[in-house]
Structure 1
Amino acid sequence: MSGVLGRSVETITGALRALFAAEQLATADGFLQRRDPRVSLCAITALALGVVLTRTLGVALCFAALTAGLARLSAVPLRRLLARSAVVPLVSALVVLPQAILLPGDALVRLFGVTVTEAGVAYVLLFTVRVGVGVALLSLLVLTTPFSALVAALRELRVPVPLVWVVAVTYRYLFLFFDELQRLVLARNSRTTGETGLRDGWRDARRIAGTFVLRTLDRGERVGRGMRARGGSRPPSPYGRSRRVGVADYALLALAAVAVVVSGVIRWTP
């Protein structure tokens, strides 16, 4: 699988692994890095909820500006944040793109018998911005807070233990799954000479997908047995410890609460 499909798999896999491996900025001296992990988790979750509630493009753009401001204060390069947050909204835009034609409204463009409406374009833009801001907020939280501190914050916030287990295990063992996929692609490429066509690429992709599923299930069984052998039935006890909540922490929580309230009021105001 050395053609376009193979290169795409390698690129996407590398991007996903990089998304979950980015914790080096968590040690920087930034605004969110100095906050208590519980405060950061609650505030970012509230801002994401505000983005979900909004149905106005202007409000969504305000959330985007707020996210950019938090990234600036937290010493997170905007280019890096955009690079980590661009893939999901672009895919989402492609998924909802037909709504630009299906939704009724005033005609914006007529081309080859197809009418693009203003309401459809507005819906696609709003949906894309909302998804992009939500992903950017999640990326900002991961970039500025070590994952172990997030797990500790979830436990201290009395999040159900099974949910904490799911989050922790999923995060940790995604590395193994991505490594497994990269090894399969590398092994296939090492046995392939020349450039393969699209049909051969899809055939190889089906074979690799089947092998990957079987190896993933086998790895999951071994991981489960290893956890049970090491006392996996006990609740997680992370090493992270909460910091002292200060004035800036309360200010961040107040800002997030106000943003959610304002977003909800604008949404349900006629």
Structure 2
Amino acid sequence: MTGVVGRSVESITGALRSVFTAEQVASSDGFLQRRDPRVSLCSVAGLALAVMITRTVAVSLCFGVVTVLLARLSAVPLRQLLARSAVVPLVSAGIVVPQAVLLPGDALVRAFGFAVTDAGVAYVVLFTLRVGVGVALLSLIVMTTPFSSVVAAMRELRVPVALVWVVAVTYRYLFLFFDELQRLVLARNSRTTGQSSLRDGWRDAKRLVGTFLLRTLDRGERVGRGMRARGGSRPPSPYSRSRDVDGGDYALVALAVVAVTGSGVIRWGL
């Protein structure tokens, strides 16, 4: 597949695969890397929850600053964190953009019989900002803690085994998922010569989606059979990587508690 669609698919696939394969930052000597995985998981998840509770742009921006500070203290490159966190908020913004017209309020722009209101724009900005900061906080967990440690922390925190299974299998299967898509695009490009139009690119994309869906389902069945053949009916049992809790762990927990409490007070108590 060539043209705009083909280049877009290749770019998105490469970016998403890098999200799940780059764990070099986790081996650095940073603030979150030195924390107990259980503390990191609970505290950063608490900060993400506080972001979801808030309903003001100012508070969301404050959490954004906290996220940047945690990233700097943990030796996480801000450009890499942004690349990991940009896809979801951009898609979310595209979904809620119609609210800029649908919500009542003072008109900012009028065109083609529609009015973009101040309340609608504020809602879109707040929603996108909250999603972006929340995703960035959760990305910090993956970037600063090896995935096996995250799974081990979930088991030690008594998270239901079914949920741990879903997280572990989904993470591992995503490698195969994106690799399959990359091979399909490469195979299509190797059989195409010259430049195709946008219309041809969309036609190729429709064919690719059908083939990709069938091959994905088939690969999933084979992965499931392989897991059962190797004793996959047992729950995941990763190596425990717990550490001694120190002052930094307590400080991170305190930050999460203050954040959740403060967000709740600002939203429901004022």
Give TM class, smaller chain: over 0.9
Task: Give the 5 Å matches for 1:61-100.
Answer: 61-100=61-100
Q: Percent identity?
A: 78
Query: Is 1:261 the equivalent of 2:254?
Result: no
Gaps of 5+ in 1: none
SS in structure 1 of the partner of residue 110 of structure 2: strand
Query: Is 1:238 the equivalent of 2:238?
Result: yes
Q: Give the corresponding residue for 2:105.
A: 105
CA distance in 1, matches of 2:134, 2:98: 22
Q: Alpha-carbon deviations, 1:42-76, whole Å to 9, x = none?
A: 01110110011110111111110100010010011
SS in structure 1 of the partner of residue 239 of structure 2: coil
**Worse-superposed segment, 101-110 or 71-80:** 101-110
Task: Give the 5 Å matches for 1:122-141.
Answer: 122-141=122-141
Structure 1 segments (4+ residues) deviating >3 Å? none
CA distance in 2, matches of 1:241, 1:77: 24
Q: Alpha-carbon deviations, 1:134-178, whole Å to 9, x = none?
A: 111111111100000000000000011111111111101111111
CA distance in 2, matches of 1:135, 1:20: 14
Please report how far the alpha carbon of residue 114 of structure 1 lies from its aligned counterpart in structure 2 after TM superposition: 2.7
Q: Give the corresponding residue for 1:17.
A: 17
Please report how far the alpha carbon of residue 111 of structure 1 lies from its aligned counterpart in structure 2 after TM superposition: 3.5
Please report how far the alpha carbon of residue 212 of structure 1 lies from its aligned counterpart in structure 2 after TM superposition: 1.0
Please report how far the alpha carbon of residue 112 of structure 1 lies from its aligned counterpart in structure 2 after TM superposition: 4.3
CA distance in 2, matches of 1:153, 1:203: 46
SS in structure 2 of the partner of residue 44 of structure 1: helix
Q: Give the corresponding residue for 2:194.
A: 194
* Partner AA of 1:167 in structure 2: V
Q: Give the corresponding residue for 2:36.
A: 36
Q: Alpha-carbon deviations, 1:79-118, whole Å to 9, x = none?
A: 2211221222122112111111111112222344432211
CA distance in 1, matches of 2:112, 2:196: 36
Q: Alpha-carbon deviations, 1:3-39, whole Å to 9, x = none?
A: 1101111111111111111211001010000000000
Gaps of 5+ in 2: none
Query: Is 1:121 the equivalent of 2:129?
Result: no
CA distance in 2, matches of 1:206, 1:110: 36
**Worse-superposed segment, 128-137 or 198-207:** 198-207
* Partner AA of 1:18 in structure 2: S
Please report how far the alpha carbon of residue 240 of structure 1 lies from its aligned counterpart in structure 2 after TM superposition: 3.2
* Partner AA of 1:67 in structure 2: T
Q: Give the corresponding residue for 1:182.
A: 182
Q: TM-score if structure 2 supplies the norm length?
A: 0.97
* Partner AA of 2:186 in structure 1: L
* Partner AA of 1:59 in structure 2: V
* Partner AA of 1:194 in structure 2: G
* Partner AA of 2:239 in structure 1: Y
CA distance in 2, matches of 1:173, 1:98: 34
The alignment of Structure 1 onto Structure 2 pairs a total of residues equal to 270
CA distance in 2, matches of 1:207, 1:78: 37
* Partner AA of 1:248 in structure 2: G
* Partner AA of 2:60 in structure 1: A
**Worse-superposed segment, 76-85 or 166-175:** 76-85
* Partner AA of 1:183 in structure 2: R
